[in-house]
Chain A
Amino acid sequence: EAGVAQSPRYKIIEKRQSVAFWCNPISGHATLYWYQQILGQGPKLLIQFQNNGVVDDSQLPKDRFSAERLKGVDSTLKIQPAKLEDSAVYLCASSYLGGHEQYFGPGTRLTVT
């Protein structure tokens, strides 16, 4: 079974620029998560989708971050405009509906200069 795919793996941008990340979950997984992991910290949930509906986006900075999951499969996370403090690894994860285990993708390492 193919794992969670993410792209790009690395991205360097200047502050105030925009960036987008893409995630393709494991086939059949209804729930998709985007996490932000700052160096030395645990992952922090930004947004959780169930199929193409949002379950939790309470920690998403909505003035600059947006996410969508069209057709309940792939998802994109966008940052516009980026700030220095957005430098982090952005992890996508997926799980079966009601499943205990979240499967993480390899992540996208974002550096904002």
Chain B
Amino acid sequence: GNSVTQMEGPVTLSEEAFLTINCTYTATGYPSLFWYVQYPGEGLQLLLKATKADDKGSNKGFEATYRKETTSFHLEKGSVQVSDSAVYFCALQGGSEKLVFGKGTKLTVNP
């Protein structure tokens, strides 16, 4: 079945550092890929998405590129801020299947 594996956390960075959170997936066909973010005390919200190979999703300075050859969708940001501290979830959806989430990676950004 479909599955998502993302890097274990927690991740702690200083403000303005470069961020990468790795995500790889297993799926049949051509799934859509997502990153969701959960700020403290809130529900998840969509951060960015990509629906086909080589697509790049971007939002709020975050980017992720759908790499079919490596089955990956790594999240990156060039310069993190304290306000980016949150839990980040990689997810995929294959066709009409339900959304499958990774376990989440907690990011803490220190001033």
A binds B: no
